[in-house]
A and B are shown apart, each in its own frame.
Chain A
Amino acid sequence: MRLELKNVSYQYKKEDRMILEDFSLSAEHTERVGLLAPSGYGKTTLCKLLSGYLLPDSGEVLLDGKPLSSYKGYCPVQMIWQQPELAVNPRLRMRDVILEGDKVEERILHELGIEPDWMNRFPSELSGGELQRFCLARALGKRTRFLLADEISTMLDLITQSQIWNFLVREVAEREIGLIAVSHNQELLERVCTRQVELRK
């Protein structure tokens, strides 16, 4: 299975600055692609295009040859956001947050180091690192084929970062989920990815 961007252009309506122009990129489900980009490149925009949160002004986003927008229901491409605090509803207990995923296995929770007691807590009672584990688990549901990681460990401490990435690399290799990781940290991408793409303005 392949996820690709074909000649994609995108700009925010209010600003006239082009964020992407005639941009192409493709990734296989067996790959772990690292995207290294300077700040202000529009990495988050790129991730949102790849996972269907945004539609390109021109060009196509294809999964397995079909437009990503034609997949109804659960989206096989899931994105993990940089700030886990914003990615969970502050009024839901973590148990309900996990239930939103696609039949997330008990095993994943365990391997991510999520303690049973945390399931009864509200997001405000967990740290950023702990919340990010939940976001990962939620995105690793049954039907996930591709995973986009947008600076997911930038705000975390080094130990949590290595815990999360070591798990993620194992998990996506086992289940043959394609991984696209965006980061400004080259050393990290070297550790994690099978291939790196450097993006320049």
Chain B
Amino acid sequence: MELNVNTEKGAAPGAPVLKIEHLHISFTQYEQGLRREQMTVIRDLDVEVRAGEMVAVVGSSGSGKSLLAHAVLGLLPYNASAGGKMEYCGSELTPDRIEKLRGSEIVMVPQSLACLDPLMKTGHQIRKGRTDKRTKNKLKEIFRRYNLKESVEELYPFELSGGMSRRILISTALIEEPKLVIADEPTPGLDLKVAKRAMEHFRELADMGAGVLVITHDLELALETVDRIVVFYAGESIEEAKASDFKREETLRHPYTKALWRAMPRNGFQPTDGVQPYAKEMPEGCPFAPRCRLCTAECSKEIPWRELRGGRVRCLSAM
């Protein structure tokens, strides 16, 4: 892996915390009647998160990208099965290991206050009931960091304001000194200002040395804070780019990523025809081929990853 870690925001390049290769996840599902079918939702996903780095996996909602978080945390539903390679800090992430690490070294930041116990005081809840001096001091430090008054410890979740609650949710993740933080759609329905602030809190986690993986559909927002973007399309990761590559169309690699860029309101709001292929009617080879102007006969074969200008792409014609 010769990926350059973006140093613009001062993150030190670190060792890979999470490395996922060829992840695929499928479901067994019933059709109408008695037939049972396999439905592959994630076909081939690669992502790597290094210490001190914030990486976003960006894909349209309903593309199954949330399953990535569930797979890493070992929380897939009963009718799902996953395959591929998952490594955590250099060695394989087995179900046993996940069980041990989940909630301590690997944490997921919950989406809303509904995930907190409404009957327990905030401070007690964040400390997970521990009352030793070290934990208490640590919480004080975290609160200072996020501009929360010490008295907030004594509040119940319903007494928190919206902005406070986001910081509290992140605090629950921080108390454990996590090495890997996963956030799945952390900013649903928030206006830009609040959403940006929430993302900045995650940025701080990365700056403190954790690897942060954000899973979102909101590319515009992700670009504001993350180091690297993994573009996810129709069940496959198709490009890995630095966030700064998104400043201009020319620095991007995959035709789909370029189409995304052109569709942003600020870059012309230009649509590209067609839709993501349906999970049961996947084209062979490149999933974007049916909508791509550069498509050739070669595109219906397996497309390998290619290093390109400090990033990676799965496209034969990308230059």
Contacts and interface: CB of A to CB of B under 8 A. Distances in A.
B122 interface: no
Given A157-B217, A160-B60, A191-B269, A39 B263 contact: no
Nearest to B161: A40
Interface in A46-97: 82
Interface string B173-200: 0000000000000000111111000000
A157 B190 CA distance: 16
Given A127-B62, A129-B60, A159-B263, A113 B269 contact: no
B118 interface: no
A113 B276 CA distance: 12
Contact of A166 (B59, B62, B271): B271
Contacts of A104: none
- Of A127, A160, A187, chain B has the most CB atoms within 10 Å of the CB of A127
B277 to A, nearest CB: 10
A113 B190 contact: no
Interface string A117-140: 000000001111110000000000
A190 B265 CA distance: 8
Contacts of B265: 162, 185, 187-188, 190-191
B19 to A, nearest CB: 26
B226 interface: no
Contacts, number: 83
Contact of B278 (A40, A125, A151, A159): A125
Main secondary structure on B side of the interface with A: loop
Interface residues of A, number: 32
A157 to B, nearest CB: 3
11 contacts: A38-B193, A39-B190, A127-B62, A129-B276, A156-B60, A156-B61, A159-B263, A160-B275, A162-B263, A165-B269, A187-B266
Given A158-B219, A161-B263, 20 more contacts: A38-B194, A39-B162, A39-B190, A39-B191, A113-B273, A113-B274, A125-B280, A127-B63, A129-B62, A154-B189, A155-B61, A155-B217, A157-B219, A158-B260, A162-B263, A162-B269, A165-B269, A166-B271, A184-B191, A187-B266
